[in-house]
Amino acid sequence: MWQRGLSVSMRPGDWERLIQSLAGHDAVVRRRKWAPPDRARTVLVPLIRVFAADMRPDGMLGVTADLRGPNVQGKLSHEQTYPGNRHRVRKIVEWWAWDPWLRMRAELRDGSVLELTVVDKIRYRRVHKTSQSGKHKTKTKTKTVQRVSVSRKLPEGAVTQCPATPPPRWVTVKVRGGAAPGGAGGRPPSDNTARGGRRTLIRASAKLMGAADERALPEQILHVTTELFRWTPPGGATRRTG
């Protein structure tokens, strides 16, 4: 974690020991430069705990986290310059960052496999202006959109059902493979086909506006993740009988 990233697969019990180590880090190591990245504690730890709680003890939880931030080589686009045209704007310089900073894969207790990806897409815009007195001013603004994609691959022959209500407008859900789910109301765009032996894949995606306080991010991610579980009967991804 001192390199501001990790890529590892472990059982839930092993993850809990790592989480406890992160929680007690500040009491042992005082130097700020050795502190774990903020996202390790505000986002990564809460998500690991929630995912691990729904796993069997021998299941594997894989996490790949790049917590270096968006302003590193390979994540930034080239700058583009546009001429100013109003309000004394002389020029606008714009560039983007594409930061796929989190991937998680969990083998759940019900036999399904959950995969999560979070990508930050950030627009930087530097505006050069002149004031009425002729002074030059430069102001940089950023706009962050977080793209969250979660998929749940059900066990072979698992039962699916449409929820009574459709997904929220800001969440897109697609169901692929297996038999088309029954029910009404909540059916999303899908390419369901009854191909023998094919495991059903339920995918949810959403765009989240970057919040000033990232402590709210785990709850937003889990809101998208919860949508996947409305498409199976209560009790999990039960298998077909008979």
pLDDT, one tens digit per residue, over 188-201 is 544 444 344 578 99
pLDDT band at 211 (very low <50, low <70, confident <90, very high): low
Q: Report which DSSP code applies to 109.
A: T
Residue-level pLDDT at 236: 55
DSSP state of 179: S
* Helix-helix angle 45-53:12-23, to 10 degrees: 150
**Mean pLDDT, rounded, for 100-116:** 96
No. of H helices and E strands in the chain?
5, 8
Query: Could you give the dihedral angle defined by the CA atoms of residues 44, 148, 229 and 42, in that order, rounded to the nearest 10 degrees?
Result: 20
Cα separation, 200 vs 106, in Å, equals: 16
pLDDT beyond 70 at 180: no
- State the average pLDDT over residues 160-165: 90
Task: Name which residue leads in pLDDT, 87 or 44.
Answer: 44
Residues ≥6 apart with Cβ < 8 Å to 95: 76, 77, 78, 79, 80, 124
What length is written for the chain? 242
Q: How would residue 242 be classed by pLDDT, with cut points 50, 70 and 90?
A: very low
Q: Which range has the top average pLDDT, 30-39, 53-62, 171-180, 212-221?
A: 53-62
Question: What is the Cα Rg of the chain in Å?
Answer: 22
What's the mean pLDDT when you consider all of the chain?
84
User: Which residue, among 222, 235, 230, 233, has the nearest Cα to 165 in the 3D structure?
Assistant: 230
Q: In the prediction, which pLDDT does 191 show? A: 45
Average pLDDT over residues 38-55: 91
* 38: its two tokens: 């903020």
Confidence (pLDDT) at 178 = 61
